[in-house]
Amino acid sequence: KYKLEINGIPVEVDPGTTILDAAHQVQVKIPTLCYHPDLPAWAACGICVVKVEGSPKMLRACATPAGPGMKIITHDPEIVKVRRNVLELILSTHPNDCLQCPRNGHCELQRLAAEFGIRDVKFEHRVNEIKPDESTPAIVLNPEKCVLCGRCANVCQYQQNVWALEFLGRGDQTRIAPAADVTLNESPCIKCGQCSAHCPVGAIYEQDETSKVWEALEDPEIYPVVQIAPAVRVAIGEAFGYEPGTLLTRKTYAALRRLGFEAVFDTNFGADLTIMEEATEFAHRLNDGGEMPLITSCCPAWTDYMEKFAPDFIDNFSSAKSPHEMLGVMAKTYYAQKMGIDPSKIFMVSIMPCTAKKYEITRSDEMFASGHQDIDVSLTTRELSRLIKASGIDFVNLPDEDCDSILGDYSGAGTIFGATGGVMEAAVRTAHHLITGKNLPDVNYEPVRGLEGVKEATLEVAGQEIRIAVAHWMCNIDTVLNRVREARERGAPSPYQFIEVMACRGGCVGGGGQPYGATDEIRAKRARGLYRDDESREHRCSHENPFIQTLYKDFLGEPCSEKSHELLHTEYRP
């Protein structure tokens, strides 16, 4: 350990700790703007400068390791003056339309300006006028607001391995843009929204579709229904002052009813349905020697990535649609029939932790399997929190309510979909039952849990070894795919039979549409909330969900039946 002093306070740190982290240890907050705990320090903005005794220059706390014996000063009038200067320079090129900005109230630049008490800027106000890029259904890029912190490009290039964003131009003409200056939609962007979740200001944000939902809720001719994704229930509370990971399923149902939805469903039910189809597909492939490995396909950013960058795996994809799509089509067929409602009047909104879901809902003809667009609008967790606030709903004091059971009651397996490893664990629970006729002795399948980028496990089912891999956060995917490719080249059997992939760090709990400020600590708390939900459910396995059993008995027949194929499956294309 190194011993040093920060503002006269002694502190001991591990070698390699930055001055910024050392200061946190003794409750000293050094302001930052370009720095994000998920990303390597880029030292672009210079707001975090500090003085170190004996050093002629001020040093950047985010990128400077704390050394033994250092005497560091983080705040004095001179340091504050330098930081103010940096801020004023940024503000001099930043539009002043905070009131109309999607990040109003959640902007890191706005917060810094308030903390530093900036009242006027000594530099001339000059904004580079650049039109926003609204070419994708998922995110909007507004380079005019960009503070050149580099977070989005780093996330996109190194964390997501996509390389859709980069800096173009030089000097004061530098701007963030899709690589090669095409539109985002023409770029390799997979719509994961991680850039929007990491941007400190309003330069990248989700396509806001709340007004479409307001209109539907106001229209007496429309029958609005809604569903919430697994990962929403453990994150929505962050917008209302709750600890990350607080399970707020039933308050969210209540809020949605008060917004005016006629029926409140739960994507977790759809997740149970996806598992019925996907586990059956897996058992068929295992028994009949089908294409291995089977790869999960419920993450639309991942399927977009695969179609663009790994088309050699298309035949490995599960054809089972993602849970919210399955629920959408069931609402406009099964539920509509049962309730005697004209499906053309049903307006289905899905509340997702995700921006890519906005793209998924029209990605192919199969997303119109009911004869109508199965999901009309997909909102992010962030959009839902704004909708609730704008409606004057006192979320914290809402009573708990239940959802509409027929497409709502879920098993524990359905809820863990929202965390990396959860889809695999849910699938294993049901696949084991399908193959052996018995549940696993312990349904908690720990080897696939946790935030490690690639998790591997082996499971014995009826004397057969099933080799599993779980990868999340796109930069980890190639490791797994390359192992399969190598085996293919050697003509050897696949090193895995079943692979789960989620594009976002931590899985959907860390989705690009979740409340701002996620770190691994917060992602882990959200995941723990889902595992607690799982443990508290009466049924832990999808095949035990009585409403799923009724749906098959009354409407679908068997998993992977002709009707299931028509309504619940899709295709992927290079």
Shortest distance in whole angstroms from residue 146 CB to ligand SF4: 13
Give the CA distances from residue 475 to residues 104, 182, 191, 298, 470, in Å, rounded to whole numbers and listed in that order.
31, 23, 15, 18, 13
Q: Residues 489-518: x/- map of binding to ligand HC1 (CB under 6 A)? A: -------------x----xx--x-------
Residue 352 engages ligand HC1 in binding (rule: CB under 6 A): yes
Q: Residues 91-110: x/- map of binding to ligand HC1 (CB under 6 A)? A: --------------------
Residue 426 engages ligand HC1 in binding (rule: CB under 6 A): no
Shortest distance in whole angstroms from residue 325 CB to ligand SF4: 12
Residue 23 engages ligand SF4 in binding (rule: CB under 6 A): no
DSSP β-bridge partners for residue 458:
467
Tokens of 407: 């497409």
Please give the backbone phi and psi of residue 176, each rounded to the nearest 5 degrees, phi first: -85, 140
Residue 358 engages ligand HC1 in binding (rule: CB under 6 A): no
Q: From ligand SF4, ligand HC1, none, which one binds at residue 193 (CB under 5 to 8 Å depending on kind)? A: ligand SF4
Active site residue 134: no
* Identity of residue 282: F
Residue with tokens 């999960």, as numbered in its chain: 296
Shortest distance in whole angstroms from residue 179 CB to ligand HC1: 26
Residue closest to ligand SF4, measured at CB: 511
Residue 162 engages ligand SF4 in binding (rule: CB under 6 A): yes
Active site residue 122: no
* Chain centroid to CA 418: 9
Q: Which of residues 291-310 bind ligand SF4 (CB under 6 A)?
A: 299-302
Shortest distance in whole angstroms from residue 191 CB to ligand SF4: 5
CA-closest candidate to residue 79, choices 54, 66, 61: 61
Active site residue 389: no
Residue 230 engages ligand HC1 in binding (rule: CB under 6 A): yes
CA-closest candidate to residue 126, choices 84, 95, 168, 83: 95
Residue 508 engages ligand SF4 in binding (rule: CB under 6 A): yes
Active site residue 318: yes
The string of DSSP codes covering 465-522 is EEEEEEEESGGGHHHHHHHHHHHHHHTPPPS-SEEEEESSTTGGGG-TTSPS---HHH
Active site residue 360: yes
Shortest distance in whole angstroms from residue 343 CB to ligand HC1: 20
DSSP β-bridge partners for residue 263:
225
* Chain centroid to CA 543: 27
Comparison of 22 and 416: residue with beta carbon closer to ligand SF4: 416
Q: Residues 448-487: x/- map of binding to ligand HC1 (CB under 6 A)? A: ----------------------------------------
Contact between 450 and 483 under an 8 Å Cβ cutoff? The reply is no
Residue 417 engages ligand HC1 in binding (rule: CB under 6 A): yes
Shortest distance in whole angstroms from residue 111 CB to ligand HC1: 28
Count of CB atoms situated within 10 Å of the CB of 85: 14
| Interface stretch with ligand SF4, choices 242-250, 251-259, 348-356, 541-549 (CB under 6 A) | 348-356
| Interface stretch with ligand SF4, choices 27-35, 251-259, 351-359, 402-410 (CB under 6 A) | 351-359
Please give the backbone phi and psi of residue 469, each rounded to the nearest 5 degrees, phi first: -135, 140
Active site residue 298: yes
Residue 160 engages ligand SF4 in binding (rule: CB under 6 A): yes
- DSSP E strands in 200-291: the ranges are 204-206, 223-228, 263-266
Give the CA distances from residue 507 to residues 215, 495, 527, 544, in Å, rounded to whole numbers and listed in that order.
32, 23, 9, 25
Residue 507 engages ligand SF4 in binding (rule: CB under 6 A): yes
Active site residue 558: no
Residue 193 engages ligand SF4 in binding (rule: CB under 6 A): yes
Candidates 508, 542, 560, 564; catalytic one: 508
Shortest distance in whole angstroms from residue 390 CB to ligand SF4: 24
Write the burial class of residue 420 (CB in 10 Å: 0-12 exposed, 13-18 middle, 19+ buried): buried
Residue 353 engages ligand SF4 in binding (rule: CB under 6 A): yes
* Identity of residue 207: Q
DSSP β-bridge partners for residue 379:
351
Active site residue 357: yes
| Element of type H or E holding 564 | helix 562-568
Q: From ligand HC1, ligand SF4, none, which one binds at residue 229 (CB under 5 to 8 Å depending on kind)? A: ligand HC1
Q: From ligand HC1, ligand SF4, none, which one binds at residue 323 (CB under 5 to 8 Å depending on kind)? A: ligand HC1
Contact between 70 and 4 under an 8 Å Cβ cutoff? The reply is yes
Give the CA distances from residue 460 to residues 424, 444, 457, 466, in Å, rounded to whole numbers and listed in that order.
15, 15, 10, 6
Question: Which of the 8 DSSP states describes residue 33?
Answer: S
| Element of type H or E holding 288 | helix 267-288
Residue 301 engages ligand HC1 in binding (rule: CB under 6 A): no
Q: Residues 408-447: x/- map of binding to ligand SF4 (CB under 6 A)? A: ----------------------------------------
Give the CA distances from residue 483 to residues 64, 283, 423, 472, in Å, rounded to whole numbers and listed in that order.
37, 23, 21, 16
Shortest distance in whole angstroms from residue 267 CB to ligand SF4: 11
Positions that interact with ligand SF4 (CB under 6 A): 139, 155-156, 160, 162, 164-165, 189-195, 299-302, 353-354, 356, 502-504, 507-508, 511-512
The residues that are catalytic are 278, 281, 298, 318, 357, 360, 366, 508
Positions that interact with ligand HC1 (CB under 6 A): 229-231, 267, 270-271, 298-299, 322-324, 352-354, 357, 417-418, 502, 507-508, 511
